[in-house]
Homo-oligomer: A and B are copies of this chain.
Amino acid sequence: MRLGRSLLLAFLTVGPAALAEEGMWLLNDFPSKEVGAKYGFAPTQAWLDKVRLGAIKLGMGCSASLVSKRGLVMTNHHCVRDCISDLSTPEHDYLEAGFVAASDAEERRCPKLEANQLVEITDVTDRVLGAAKGLEGAAYGQAIKQEMTRIEGACATSAALRCDVVTLFHGGKYHLYKYRRFQDVRLAAAPEFPMAAFGGYPDNFNFPRYGFDVAFVRVYDNGQPAVTPDALPWAKTPAKEGDLTFVAGSPGGTERVQTVEQLAYQRDVNLPRAMVRLSELRGTLLQFAQGNPDLWRTTRARIRTVENGLKGLTGRQAWLADPAAFERKRTEDTALRSAVKADPAKEAKYGQAWDAIARAVTAERRLSPRFQLEEQAQGFGSDFFDIARGLVRAAAERPKPSTERLREYTDARLPGLRQYLLRDVPISRPLERATLTVGLRRLRDTLGPDDPYVQTVMGKQSPEDLAREVVDGTHLDEAKVREALWEGGEAAIAASTDPMIGLARRADPGARAVRKSVEDEVESVLARNGELLHQAHVAVHGTSGYPDGTLTLRLSYGTITGWEEGGRKVPAMTFLSGLYARDTGKYPFAVAPSWLQARPKLEATMPFDMASTHDVIGGNSGSPMINRQGEVVGVIFDGNIPSLGGDYGYDAATNRAVTLHGRAILEGLEKVYGAGRLVKEIRGR
């Protein structure tokens, strides 16, 4: 109720700029004037450009920053957890023990990781919208997609560049983002997983907090540490409560202008369904790993991912389930609709959007169960299947002209896809059997045994039997098998007797069909009318807003401060002494031996984690927190529970980001992990 009440107050003010510290701002359209008026510091475009070049986007949906001129990159531990897991063996378990490279030579390549630096932004709105002029429905979406693919293709002149046309304001603007690609990313230092994830599921999205969720990787060029003059300097003065700071990172897809129908679909259908799915998977995986150290080692990272997703979705759903919050969104929607109706010119332009969106949501309710099962859900929850599907589809798509392919198989995307599919990583067969069993079971549970797709994919086999057969029988763990299938194309795929390829072949036609329906009846309609909705929003509320998060670089501003929760004051910062007080000796509340040993060398009053009002969300993980001087003062790794509603709205009274303090980072590196080498480098000495 607390959240809802203050949201209602927030709504009584007018216009986005009035909502204190709300906003995920574009770096080429930052509200410097407003920030200057409020805080006495107005970032210049030169300041913003420096921040843009110091920020790094990590391949798998995380943020990071360059912190030395020799390519050292800071991010969260949880952003490179897959890499650490992939590099671990029973003998060298870097998740359990942590990892510190004593020299460049000891740094280890992360097989799946890519890092991108945003070197240029170009507005291509006119070109993209021009290509779709006069079109509607599926044709509109198709034209947009093709033009985006053409622009990206022309930009990506070398494998060292990545070019994405980014959709902003739900299609109101299109920007071409040109990235410098770093495909050779090596792990330099990481704490123990139990310290990074200290507090586990119970503490996740909570504060006070004691996570040491940081890790360092280094980007390489031609086998040498990359030369990165754009690195952000480290702060000489540590951050303290009340400081104005900035967060540069790539928040994921928010949806802050939505109709009531869209929000109700999330609250009533989509989020509960996803929560139920992840909950079953969580129970399965925890029981799977229970009491078996080997299985625990290969599973704990996946468990953490599932638990994090589950708690995040739960918070989002709870936000929408709060009647006051939902009524605020309903009021916003109704007010926008009325304002449009009241003006014949606006009504003619935007009025159709509401009904069209309502129809698309109705279609989504009908199509999404099948779509999520057949096309999404990470390939029935199996890494092997995900690879098999990628190979099957690449073979089918590559002979087509780039503009007619599925989006993720266009020429611009092929190099990254190839790297992803041919990467050399260990896959645990026991874990694959467990997760694929769950995935296939869900398929049959939901669609029923009589469903033609279920019969095509599973025949009369049980989920367990089919999972065992295809996981035990596949050779896709051998890089040369995958390479032969990639190079061999359609003929090789058709001739393959690998049972996982066979499963992917059977699954593909149905999945493509439902994807097509969703693209035509849902996504195209929502894209076109979401654009109208946002244009209406801009037409009614003015142009000083920020676009929804799109996993691309943004800047948020805010202050380091606590909040009130049920009459109780939550502090702005935690200190080292609190970490030791919370130690129970048992996961997830066990302080690692390294920190117990280093305790005499550390000040008990050293700041540890901090809460701040920045408007961040998933995707911001690993974002640097920056002071007025453009210096790094910490690394964002989480938000609190109220921040989980960030997809839909922001409330300065309760919404908090959670950051690991810069001083704790350097002290930890030097005194706990013996990584003085990196500390010197970060300090520029």
Residues 45 to 77 of chain A near chain B (Cβ within 8 Å)? none
Residue of A279, A281, A283, A323 ringed by the most chain B CB atoms within 10 A: A283
Give the CA-CA distance A318 to B279 in the complex, in Å: 18
* A587 in contact with B282 (CB, 8 Å): no
Spot the interface stretch: A247-255, A268-276, A667-675: A268-276
Residues on B with C-beta less than 8 A from A366 are: 1
Q: Which of A139-147, A200-208, A600-608 interfaces with chain B?
A: A200-208
A88 within 8 A of B: no
Q: With A and B bound together, what is the CA distance between A287 and B284 in angstroms?
A: 6
Q: Which among A129-137, A234-242, A458-466, A617-625 touches the partner chain?
A: A458-466
| 6 closest Cβ pairs, A-B complex | A283-B283, A283-B284, A268-B321, A280-B283, A460-B584, A279-B279
A199 and B317 alpha carbons, distance in the complex (Å)? 33
Closest to A204 in B: B445
A372 at interface, CB cutoff 8 A = no
Docked pose: A275 CA to B273 CA in angstroms: 9
The one of B287, B587, B589 that contacts A449, using a Cβ cutoff of 8 Å: B589
**A448 to B202, Cβ gap below 8 A?**
yes
Instruction: Decide yes or no whether A40 CB sits under 8 A from chain B.
Output: no
Cβ of A434 < 8 Å from any Cβ of B? yes
A563 at the B interface (CB under 8 A): no
User: Which B residues are in CB contact (< 8 Å) with A280?
Assistant: 279-280, 282-283
Instruction: Type the 1/0 row for A484-514, where 1 means its CB is closer than 8 Å to any CB of B.
Output: 0000000000000000000000000000000
Residues of A within 8 A of B (CB): 1, 199, 201-203, 206, 261, 264, 267-269, 271-272, 275-277, 279-288, 290, 314, 317, 320-321, 323, 362, 366, 434, 437-438, 441, 444-445, 448-449, 460-462, 464-465, 584-587, 589
Q: What 11 additional pairs, Cβ within 8 angstroms, besides A268-B320, A275-B275, A284-B286?
A: A268-B317, A269-B321, A271-B272, A272-B276, A275-B276, A279-B279, A280-B283, A282-B283, A283-B285, A287-B288, A465-B586
Report if A461-B586 is in contact (Cβ < 8 Å); known contacts: A275-B276, A276-B276. Answer: yes
Bound form: Cα–Cα A268–B266 in Å: 11
Known A323-B264, A460-B589, A586-B462; judge A434-B287 contact (CB<8 A).
Answer: yes
Distance in angstroms from A528 CB to nearest chain B CB is: 23
**What chain B residues lie within 8 Å of A320 (beta carbons)?**
268
The distance in angstroms between the C-alpha atoms of A270 and B465, with both chains bound, is 35
Distance (Å) between the CB of A290 and the closest chain B CB?
A: 7
Give the distance in Å from the alpha carbon of A269 to the alpha carbon of B275 in the complex: 12
Complex CA–CA separation, A264 to B323 (angstroms): 9
Contact partner of A201 among B283, B317, B445, CB < 8 A? B445
Is A272 touching B317 in the complex (CB atoms < 8 A)?
yes
- The answer, among B201, B279, B288, for a CB contact under 8 Å with A276, is B279
Q: Which residues of B contact A269 (CB under 8 A)?
A: 321
How far is A267 from B461 in the complex, measured between Cα atoms in Å? 35
The closest CB in chain B to the CB of A277 belongs to B279
On chain B, the residues within 8 Å of A1 by CB distance are: 362, 366
* CB-CB under 8 A for A449 and B283, given A267-B268, A587-B462, A589-B460: no
Specify the chain B residue showing the minimal Cβ separation from A314.
B276
A276-B275, A279-B283 given; A202·B586 CB < 8 A: no
Determine how close the nearest CB of chain B comes to the CB of A97; give it in whole angstroms. 21
* Bound CA span A323–B264, Å: 9
B-chain residues with CB within 8 Å of residue A314 when the two chains form the complex: 276
Within 8 Å CB of A268, what residues of B?
267-268, 317, 320-321
A579 to chain B, nearest CB (A): 14
CA distance A285 to B280 in the complex (A): 10
Closest B residue by C-beta to A448? B202
In angstroms, Cα B276 to Cα A320, docked, is 17
The 19 sampled A-B contact pairs (Cβ below 8 Å) are A1-B362, A199-B449, A202-B444, A202-B449, A268-B268, A271-B272, A272-B276, A272-B317, A282-B283, A283-B285, A283-B287, A283-B438, A284-B287, A286-B441, A287-B287, A290-B464, A449-B589, A460-B585, A465-B586
A575 to chain B, nearest CB (A): 16
State the CA gap A460–B590 with chains docked (Å).
10
Residues in chain B near residue A448, CB distance under 8 A = 202-203, 206
CB distance from A303 to the nearest CB of B (A): 12
- Chain B min CB distance to A320 (Å): 8
The answer on a CB contact under 8 Å between B282 and A445 is no
Distance between Cα atoms of A285 and B288 in the complex (Å): 10
Contacts of A587 in B (CB 8 A): 462
Complex Cα gap A666–B366 (Å): 42
Are B445 and A202 in contact, with the CB atoms below 8 A? yes
Give every chain B residue within 8 A of A275 (Cβ-Cβ).
272, 275-276, 279
Chain B residues whose C-beta falls within 8 Å of the C-beta of A464 in the assembled complex: 290
Nearest to A583 among chain B residues (CB) is: B460
The residues of B that contact A206 with a CB separation of less than 8 Å are: 448
Residue of B nearest to A275 (CB): B276
| Bound CA span A277–B314, Å | 12
A373 CB → nearest B CB, Å: 13
Q: For A271, what are the chain B residues with a Cβ–Cβ distance below 8 Å?
A: 272
Which residues of chain B have C-beta atoms less than 8 A from A441's C-beta? 286
